[in-house]
Amino acid sequence: MTLFAALKAKTSKLRFAIWNSNKLGYRILRPIYASFHFCRMFFFSAEYRHQTWAHLRYGKHFHQPPNFTMPNRYPALFKIAQDYFAGRSEVKLLSFGCSTGEEAYSLREYLPQALIVGTDISPYNLKRCLQKPNSPKISFVHSLSEEFTNSGDFDAIFCLAVLQHTHNRSGVVKAVKYTFAQFEAQCLLLDGKLKSGGLMFIDHSDFKFLDTSIRAKYFPLQVPNNKLLHNRPLFNTQNEILSESHESYRVFLKK
Ligand SMILES: C[S@@+](CC[C@H](N)C(=O)[O-])C[C@H]1O[C@@H](n2cnc3c(N)ncnc32)[C@H](O)[C@@H]1O
């Protein structure tokens, strides 16, 4: 390991401890480091400024604020959609929490015939989506806009790494910052936009889709690769932790 790599690993370990450790020393350092971090990011990162503003403006509507994404992030899920809709000339897909648009563009590779709507709560992310090469079959809208509210009749909805929160990690026993009620309300809203016979893709969430009140309308799609082991906490309807890792279904067929 080079000196630089060793130093980087040490500082990242220290940062993690300052944010997460319950030891008194770290707890004292936390507000000092948080102020320093805020000022540094606010002055030097346009993305941080825009995301902070979005958070202040839409705070209570946010699920997962971080916008990490990448092209073809879920090949197994995208292949399931490709096989399910093979031979269909008209397919309408929703990428909910599309971040900077990579998910929508990846879906186009698997289903070139599809009309794809990407939506996100962050105006900064949507601006980045719109900077990508224009495609007549892909559009992006804000998730709290009238246009999105009035949209519907989707054949498949992809809600991947959205219905979760970073505060529901690292040793918490109760989901407080992001709760089952918020998760369920969003699932109900998405359910209203999905056609019967359509597919709901929900992965990397803090709660189980089949715990929601709409579970009777759905069953797990019987395909290989639907169930996956997740090394992350899972919470029940009372927001209590169920396990630190679990196997869960990711694709649900609406009856
Ligand atoms: C980790 S990214 C996931 C991106 C992409 N789905 C993926 O898995 O690669 C989570 C995204 O959800 C968005 N998000 C959070 N709350 C939302 C809401 N209420 N409506 C729409 N998008 C939301 C965030 O802005 C962020 O871009």
Note the pLDDT of residue 4.
86
Ligand 1 atom nearest the C-alpha of 62 is 16
Q: Burial of 9 by CB count in 10 Å (0-12 exposed, 13-18 middle, 19+ buried)?
A: exposed
Ligand 1 centre distance from Cα of residue 31 (Å): 27
User: What global pTM score does this model have?
Assistant: 0.90
Residue 99 contacts residue 69 (beta carbons within 8 Å): yes
CA geometry: angle 39, 42, 47, nearest 5 deg = 155
Note the pLDDT of residue 172.
86
**Cβ partners under 8 Å of residue 119, min gap 6:** 94, 95, 96, 97, 98, 140, 141, 142, 143, 148
The response to whether residue 64 sits with its C-beta less than 6 Å from ligand 1 reads: yes
- Structure token pair of residue 53: 């503003």
Q: Is 13 left (phi over 0), alpha (psi -120 to 50) or beta?
A: alpha
| Candidate from 38-47, 193-202, 230-239 with smallest mean pLDDT | 38-47
pLDDT band at 15; cut points 50, 70, 90: confident
Q: What number is the average pLDDT over the span 115-140? A: 96
3-state DSSP call for residue 31?
helix
For the domain spanning 75-254, the CATH number is 3.40.50.150
136-182 confidence digits (pLDDT tens): 999 999 999 999 999 999 999 999 999 999 889 877 899 998 999 99
The response to whether residue 103 sits with its C-beta less than 6 Å from ligand 1 reads: yes
Q: Burial of 170 by CB count in 10 Å (0-12 exposed, 13-18 middle, 19+ buried)?
A: exposed
Q: Where in the chain is the domain with CATH 3.40.50.150?
A: 75-254
The DSSP-derived string for 34-62 is HHHHHHHHHHH-HHHHHHHHHHHHHGGG-
Q: What number is the average pLDDT over the span 236-254? A: 96
- Decide if pLDDT at 240 tops 90: yes
52-104 confidence digits (pLDDT tens): 999 999 999 999 999 999 999 999 999 999 999 999 999 999 999 999 999 99
Average pLDDT of every residue of the chain: 94
